[in-house]
Amino acid sequence: MQDKDNAMMHLKSHQNYPATKDQLVAECSNLSDFSEEDKKWFMQNLPEGTYSSADEVIKALGWSEQGSNMQGGQGQVA
């Protein structure tokens, strides 16, 4: 995930809860400000379930508030 900060902001500010994985993935797929690579990463890494809050989604993805500016998932190789 290259744009983790923006994804976290979207989950907190623009998503309605409760939401299932399918609903979250559908919402993510409709966003023009995320790359296809980030959309694919989100779909592949979010576990099945129903989420009551953005914090639950963030935790399920293995993200934390303190590490929000770090890239998760597929990093770039130099």
Q: Where are the domains of the chain?
A: 4-60
b/e sequence 9-23, b meaning 16+ C-beta within 10 Å: ebbeeebeeebebee
Tell whether pTM > 0.85. Answer: no
User: Which residues are paired to 51 by β-bridges?
Assistant: 19
User: Can you give the pLDDT of all 78 residues of the chain as single tens digits?
Assistant: 888 989 999 999 999 999 999 999 999 888 888 899 999 999 999 999 999 999 999 999 999 764 444 344 433 333
